[in-house]
Structures are given as structure tokens and as C-alpha cells.
Structure 1
Amino acid sequence: MQENENKERFEREDIFSKSIRAGRRTYFFDVKDTRSGSYYLTITESKRFFDKEGVPRYEKHKIFLYREDFEKFMEAYIDSMEFIKSHAPDEEKEENKSGGFDNKEE
């Protein structure tokens, strides 16, 4: 019984999904719903690598964010980005001008 519940939890359909490709990594932002109808966010980092036989494989890391943590997470994210922007070495600041932190995807 518990196995079915766990399977159902991880096989919930995405309500909204967006991905970002960054070199060998892809980040997925997926909004899902709980059984009670609340939304939560999963952020997945998928990193491509090749095994010994040269077959491509993917290593995945996943974060689950629930509604009660959204605001705290956003505050910490914004604080972290502002710190990086104001304390980054000069060459990183130049990179950011040409498409880093301030580059907004349409």
C-alpha cells in the first residue's frame, strides 16, 4: 500500500513546467499539486555524463518546495543574488552585463 502511495506521489502530472539549458546541465521547474489540491514546486538539476561504455547518462538532484516555504525561499534567493551582484569580481560583473543575472527570458 505504501509503495503505491509513494509511486503516486512521484508520478503526479505537471501543472506547469519550464526548463533552462546551461551547458551539460538542464534545470526543470515543475509545478505539481498535492492530493489536497495545494501546489508545490520541484526544481530538478539534470547533469549529463557518459558511462564507461560512452553511453549518455543523467544524474539528477531534486528539491521540493511547498507553499509554506515559497516566501522564505524567494527572500533567500533574492538576497543571495543581490550579494553575488554586489560582491562579484569585476570580470563576473562584466559577464553579467552581457546576459548574466539581468538577462530576462521572454
Structure 2
Amino acid sequence: MGIRGELFSLKMVCDERTYFFNVKENRLGDLFLTIVESKENELSTYERHSVVVFKENLDEFMSQLTKAAETMKTIKPAQQSKQLARRDQLHHTHAKPVSGRYADDTDGTSDHIRKPVLHIKKPRDEKPTPRKARVRTASNASQTSPSASNTPSSNVTEPEPHQK
């Protein structure tokens, strides 16, 4: 057995992408194929995407892969150019913004649905919040001493009322 169970490996370089085809064996002796796509991103790091196909599924996988490849060969050039234009449009909509909230969102309207990220920094002189804050409920309110519930520095918080 080779490195990490690797029995066979091929490398294929295509433009900006590199593909690896590896046959491996796991600890139980099961054989599987990994197909890994690797490409460099804007941050000069590599994105890796992999597919794992076990030996018992390989025949069906190859059959479906062959059908997909044959379909790609039969697509007419006009269809290809439409699909390339659509791919470029999708790539543009998923590109990271360069300025403002969204690069193509100058008037405040956007088709993008993204959740904003809010980062809150605490002042340095503020003490960190304790890990487990006690929540005062009606059941344990009677158990606390009256003097502890009246002190402003108490760590007890009132629960929010439920709204319907």
C-alpha cells in the first residue's frame, strides 16, 4: 500500500485546473477512485473539489459519465455559445464585490439574497461575559434571596415575553 492507501495516481493539467485520478484502498481493503479538481483562487491558495467512487459503483458511474460526455459532443455550437454566455453571466453574479455592498448594486436594489455579517467588538475595559448566564424564570425566582434580586450587579436576566 502506498501513501495513505494510494495504489495508483495520474495527474492531468488543463489550463488553470489540475485533475488527479487516484486509486486508493481504505483500512478495510475496499478500493475506491478519487477524482480531484484543483485550481488556484484569487488569494493564491488552491481550491480542491473531489469525487469518491467505490469499486462496486464504478461500472454505473462510468456508464453515466460516458453518456454525459457523448451528450456534450453532440451539442451544436450555437447551444454552446448560449451556455457559455449563461456561464459567464452566472460567474459575474457570483463574483465577489469590489466596492460597496455589492459591486453591481449601485441603486440599492439587488437580486442577491445574502445575509449581512455583523462584527461586534467589545471595549477593552469591559469584562468578558460569563459562559453560563443564569436566566431568571418564575420557577426559580422564589428560590433566590430578595437581596440578590435587587442588586444591580446581579448576573440574572429577565426572559423576553413571548409575542403572538
**TM-score band, normalised by the shorter chain?**
0.5 to 0.7
Aligned counterparts of 1:15 and 1:69: Cα–Cα separation in 2: 18
State TM-score, norm by structure 1.
Answer: 0.65
Larger proportion of helix: 1
Where does 1:1-106 land on structure 2 (aligned, <5 Å)? Answer: 12-51=4-43, 56-89=44-77
State TM-score, norm by structure 2.
Answer: 0.43
8 Å contact kept, 2:5–2:26: no
Alpha-carbon RMSD across the aligned residues, in angstroms, is: 1.8
- Determine helix, strand or coil for the equivalent of 2:45: strand
8 Å contact kept, 2:25–2:31: yes
Structure with bigger RCO (C-alpha 8 Å, 6+ apart) = 1
Aligned counterparts of 2:6 and 2:12: Cα–Cα separation in 1: 16
Q: CA deviation at 1:61?
A: 0.6
Structure 2 equivalent of residue 6 of structure 1: none
Same amino acid, percent of matched pairs:
35
Which residue type is aligned with residue 58 of structure 2? Answer: F
Runs of at least 4 residues of structure 1 off by over 4 A? none
Number of residues paired by the alignment? 77
Q: CA deviation at 1:29?
A: 0.5
